[in-house]
Amino acid sequence: MKLDNPDDCVDSDAWLGLWTAFRTIWTEEADRIGVVVGCSGGADSVALVRLIEAARRQTASPASLVIAHLNHGLRGEDSDRDEAHVRSLAEELGREVVVQRQKQSRQAPVQYDDDPDDRGGSGQRLDSDEASLRQARRRFLVQTAKQHGCRYIALAHTADDQAETVLHHVLRGTGSAGVSGMAISTPIEIDFIVRRPLLNVRRTLVRQALTEIRQTWREDLSNQESRYTRNWIRNEILPAIRQRLPGVDASLIRLAENQSQTDELLTRFGRQWFDAFVSCVLGSDSSRWLRIQTSFDRDASRLWKHDHELARDRAVITRGLQWMFQQYQLPMRDMTQTHWHRLCDLVLKPHDEPEMRSVGHLPGRMEMKSELHAVWIGPIRL
Ligand SMILES: Nc1ncnc2c1ncn2[C@@H]1O[C@H](COP(=O)(O)OP(=O)(O)OP(=O)(O)O)[C@@H](O)[C@H]1O
């Protein structure tokens, strides 16, 4: 069966169902934008490559589609077979493939704004190993997008991944952002957008569709082991809950949708708060400091003058501070609830003397200072 065009697969109900769900998110506008697709060789990402390829051909779009695979090399020959599978898929489609073999050295974790699994604490060591792999993939995908002039990075997360993510966050303890799960579109590193066009699709539909169109994929057998908390939730916890509450996945997904609406609103206020109250100041030794205005006397904060309560709302300030950390790429991974509370308290109640005083440290060897009408954080390297 030829797979270049979705019309070639009309005899597959599952493929058509998958194509329709994909097309509600991946519009014709998306066809005109260069994309890097992260492909592990697994069912979901193989399907995503096929779908984006079909969309490109349907609209005869010349925009690039780069297939990117990071070979972590953790499963010996099995990893090499995954890589070979991705290479042969790219060759069959006549698309460029970028493969990188990961060096087996530990790199310092880097926080990415949109990775919900990276929010809210360190968790167990194994889980943080898994988070490091995910971060290495993100670094690689962003780098590939930069090198190929692509704006989109497409990932194949499904509705099942969303349900697992939300439950994982709830069990581990999370803020509102964690309960929102993953978004269909998230900006990353200013110039790029992570797209998740399969986020409303169930994993079973993907597999059924691939089987019907006779497209093979690689099965990562290590996913069946429950060593990682994420796999344990996928393999043991969710199936056990489903036996008694068959609608659990839908409930978790709905919870994420509802929460993300509230969360968007909070982020909007948080950004406005940041714009009104935060400025970056060059220190005497050419280091930089962030100055957080705590009074309403600047022109920029006029917006907030008529709504003092909102400007002093803890949730808004905390979100504004988190936005500030993202904008200046400050190390957020090691920030605990206690750090956020401490910062928030300082902003709400700075010292009432005019002299600046050091009032503690933050992760990443940063210092907090407080004075009348302002809190300072730094030094930071830009
Ligand atoms: N080794 C990899 N190289 C490039 N991209 C990857 C790699 N592993 C995963 N991705 C991308 O990141 C997404 C999320 O990763 P995750 O580990 O949750 O997926 P997965 O279980 O490997 O699923 P699948 O490959 O079936 O999509 C994948 O859907 C895929 O788009």
- Distance (angstroms) between ligand 1 centre and the Cα of 38 equals 6
Q: Say how far apart CA 282 and CA 302 lie, in whole Å.
A: 24
**pLDDT recorded at residue 126:** 56
* pLDDT (0 to 100) of residue 78: 87
Q: How far is the CA of 374 from the centre of ligand 1 (A)?
A: 44
Instruction: Give the nearest ligand 1 atom to 38 CA.
Output: 5
Question: How far from each other are the two terminal CA atoms of the chain, in whole angstroms?
Answer: 53
Segments of the chain scoring below 50 in pLDDT: 1-2, 106-123
As annotated, the binding site includes 40-45
Looking at the chain, the whole-number percentage of residues with pLDDT higher than 70 is 88
Written as one letter, the residue type at 136 is: A
How many other CB atoms sit within 10 Å of the CB of residue 368?
A: 19
Residue of the CA atom closest to atom 28 of ligand 1: 156
Q: SS3 string of the chain?
A: CCCCCHHHHCCCHHHHHHHHHHHHHCCHHHHCCCEEEECCCCHHHHHHHHHHHHHHHHCCCCCCEEEEEEECCCCCHHHHHHHHHHHHHHHHHCCEEEEEECCCCCCCCCCCCCCHHHCCCCCCHHHHHHHHHHHHHHHHHHHHHHHCCCCEEECCCCHHHHHHHHHHHHHHCCCHHHHCCCCCEEEECCCEEEECCCCCCCHHHHHHHHHHCCCCCCCCHHHHCCCCHHHHHHHHHHHHHHHHCCCHHHHHHHHHHHHHHHHHHHHHHHHHHHHHHEEEEECCCCCEEEEEECCCCCHHHHHHHCCHHHHCCHHHHHHHHHHHHHHCCCCCCCCCHHHHHHHHHHHHCCCCCCCCEEEEEECCCEEEEEECCEEEEEEECC
**Does the CB atom of residue 196 touch ligand 1 within 6 A?**
no
CA of 39 to the centre of ligand 1 (A): 6
d(CA 150, CA 100): 18
Query: How many A from CA of 160 to the centre of ligand 1?
Result: 13
* Nearest-5° Cα angle at 207, 206 to 211: 120
Centroid of ligand 1 to alpha carbon of 380 (angstroms): 34
Alpha-carbon span 376 to 379, nearest angstrom: 9
Q: Give the tokens for residue 77.
A: 């020959």
* pLDDT computed for residue 2 by the predictor: 47
Q: Which of 39, 45, 217 to mutate to test the pocket of ligand 1 (most atoms within 8 A of CB)?
A: 45
Provide the edge-to-edge strand list for the sheet that holds 366-371: 278-282, 288-293, 374-380, 366-371, 357-362
List residues bridging with 101 in a β-sheet. 71
Query: Is 45 a pocket residue for ligand 1 (Cβ < 6 Å)?
Result: yes
Cα 380 from Cα 366, distance rounded (Å): 7
* CA nearest ligand 1 atom 2, residue: 40
Cβ-based neighbours of 221, under 8 Å, separated by 6 or more: 78
Q: Which residue lies with its CA nearest to atom 12 of ligand 1?
A: 155
Q: Which residue has tokens 């949730």?
A: 315
Contact yes or no for 157/166 (Cβ under 8 A): no
Give residue 111's pLDDT. Answer: 39
Is the CB of residue 38 below 6 angstroms from any atom belonging to ligand 1?
A: yes
Provide Rg for the chain, Cα atoms.
Answer: 23
Q: Which residue, by CA, sits nearest to atom 8 of ligand 1?
A: 40
Q: What is the pLDDT of residue 118?
A: 44
The one-letter code for the residue type at 81 is: R
| Closest C-alpha residue for ligand 1 atom 17 | 134
C-beta separation of 289 from 281 below 8 A: yes
Q: Is there an atom of ligand 1 within 6 Å of 371 CB?
A: no
What are the chain's domains? 6-246 (3.40.50.620), 262-380 (no CATH)
Cβ–ligand 1 distance for 183 under 6 Å, the answer no
Q: Is 44 in the pocket of ligand 1 (CB under 6 A)?
A: yes
Residue list for the binding site for ATP: 40-45
User: What pLDDT was estimated at residue 306?
Assistant: 67
Measured from the CB, is residue 230 less than 6 Å from ligand 1?
no
Distance CA 375, CA 321 (A): 12
d(CA 91, CA 96): 8
Find all residues with CB under 8 Å of 330, minimum gap 6, and list them. 324, 364, 366, 377, 380
Model pLDDT, residue 356 = 86
ipTM exceeding cut-off 0.90 for this assembly: yes
